[in-house]
Amino acid sequence: MTATDPADPSTTPPSPSSEEQVGEARPLLDVFEGLVVPHANTDDIEVSNTLEIDVQESNLRVRFVGDTHAPSLGSENEVLPGKLEVELLTAGGRTIDTLSMSQLTMSSLKKILTAFTQRDMRERFLGLGRLSGDTFLSQGKLRNLLTQAGAEGVQINSSLGVAPSDIASNYNRQYSRAKSDEDNRERYLDLIERSATLSIVHHGLAQAKALGINKVLVPVHTQSIVAEVSRSREDIDIIWVVPKAAVEGVNLSEDEGGDVVYFSTNPKISPDAEQRLALFSALARGHLTIDERVLCLKGASHSPNLSGYEIVAPPRIFSWISKESLESLQSIPKSSLEVIERVVDIAMKFSREGIEGKYFGATFVVGRGKKLAPFLKQVMHNPLEGLDIEDRSLYDPRFLRTLRAAASVENAVIIRPDGLVSSAWTNIVAPTDEIETRDGWGSRHVSAVAITAVTEAFSVTISESTGDVTLMWAGKPILELSPR
């Protein structure tokens, strides 16, 4: 028997006292399980010595800074190897002061977090979900928190004062002053932007009338833009573009006079991509001819206001366009056009989201099965065979996750004109000899455009290198969009 064998009574260490047996020893990192901010990268947590604590108050951030890899904690009264930092913020997110709390124990830390959340923290931290509490840390709550911490022997350092009442009072005073300044600045900027928007509408419509332009494209984020355009338009036809986020706040319908209302379903699309999609939709539906010029009011990227205007001639935006090709496009049933636009919308969504922070390549083909069949080959197993065809709709949000996984693999996704997905992982074997290619195109783009040259199908590609989305038809690209 060795000297370290625990079975030997003479060498077994004495049992700890009852005071020391408060809790089972466990790593400090495990103690904070369930309290760390959601969606934090687990690998980052494992190597970090800073853990951000998940609290709901909007005017502060709380984090533990120290040795999160301490081997064990066996007592509630053992001093933690670190400190708690409480960052006090303005309403606009600017830091007023960062309180530092040191000489913390498990017992005092629980009581401090209880003061934050008004939650009974007698249960162990391990496995707790998101802390519940107020969404704003008030002056009284901050004072009570600091008083509680001081009573537990916690050392508090702050540039706002020494006594809890002084710290809380000074923070409240600075918060109120900063909020007033921030509110005034926000109101001033909003006033400037709204004034600029009204000026853009007025001068843009006046320019259209002076140049004899009878079509104006208007991105609508607020009802005030609708009202101002309606006052100044006279007999000008309007192509209204209503983003998804503004649908509820804007009073427009698709039957509005002789106008066109284009509802943009992609919430994060850029103003330029939104404009291109609206112009394409207007052309495809016969609301815009090849010879008409359009004055396009420009939406701002991060504001509901307008940023300017430009005059657009369709042939300069869509180089493929001719009277014959436009007539062919306009002969496509509206229901099929809606499916094609839905595929473009989904492709933009997939491109923007990517996989693990990177773009992924994909190909979608929309067409009738019998006409596509000679140019398709199912070499790999169709991963959608286990799903009923009715459960493969592009308009079913539950199916999009499955579609995304299927589209991210090589080969194509084949879609019927009614928006139901026939197959995935399908090879395109259309002839490519006479296809005009572009610099930067790979086999994905070549095969996608090739099948549109020998059938009436449309195809949509996502570029693996740039994330750009391209709509192809009649052997050529007809719409190119960037996710950025």
Judgement on whether residues 217 and 230 belong to the same structural domain of the protein: yes
Judgement on whether residues 236 and 322 belong to the same structural domain of the protein: yes
Judgement on whether residues 346 and 206 belong to the same structural domain of the protein: no
CA distance 472 to 449: 6
8 A C-beta contact, residue 29 and residue 42: no
8 A C-beta contact, residue 130 and residue 37: no
Residue 274 lies in a domain: yes
Judgement on whether residues 108 and 62 belong to the same structural domain of the protein: yes
Judgement on whether residues 201 and 318 belong to the same structural domain of the protein: yes
Task: Note the helical H segments in 118-163.
Answer: 139-151
3-class secondary structure, 90 = coil
8 A C-beta contact, residue 355 and residue 462: no
Supply the pLDDT for residue 256.
47
Q: Which range among 58-62, 121-125, 159-163, 307-311 shows the weakest confidence by mean pLDDT?
A: 121-125
Q: Looking at 273, 294, 329, which one is the last position of a domain?
A: 329
Supply the pLDDT for residue 177.
84
Supply the pLDDT for residue 185.
72
pLDDT bucket at 3, cuts 50 / 70 / 90: very low
| Mean pLDDT, residues 98-116 | 81
Judgement on whether residues 315 and 226 belong to the same structural domain of the protein: yes
8 A C-beta contact, residue 344 and residue 332: no
Q: Which helix (H) or strand (E) holds 363?
A: strand 362-366
Residue 104 lies in a domain: yes
Q: Is the pLDDT of residue 377 over 90?
A: yes
| Mean pLDDT, residues 322-338 | 93
CA distance 340 to 333: 11
pLDDT in tens, 162-178: 998 999 899 888 888 88
Judgement on whether residues 387 and 466 belong to the same structural domain of the protein: yes
Cβ-based neighbours of 442, under 8 Å, separated by 6 or more: 464
Judgement on whether residues 306 and 362 belong to the same structural domain of the protein: no
Residue 473 lies in a domain: yes
CATH number of the domain enclosing 360: 3.40.1700.10
User: Are β-strands 60-66 and 421-428 bridged in parallel, bridged antiparallel, or unpaired?
Assistant: unpaired
Q: Which range among 23-37, 64-78, 205-219, 448-462 shows the weakest confidence by mean pLDDT?
A: 23-37
pLDDT bucket at 355, cuts 50 / 70 / 90: confident
Judgement on whether residues 318 and 336 belong to the same structural domain of the protein: no
| Residue 460: domain span | 332-481
User: What is the number of structural domains in the chain?
Assistant: 3
Instruction: Give, as one character, the DSSP assignment of residue 146.
Output: H
Judgement on whether residues 236 and 345 belong to the same structural domain of the protein: no
pLDDT top residue among 421 and 246: 421
Residue 147 lies in a domain: yes
Phi-psi region of 220 (alpha: psi -120 to 50; beta: other; left: phi over 0): beta
Residue 198 lies in a domain: yes
Judgement on whether residues 321 and 367 belong to the same structural domain of the protein: no
Q: In percent, how much of the chain has pLDDT > 70? A: 78
| Mean pLDDT, residues 50-76 | 71
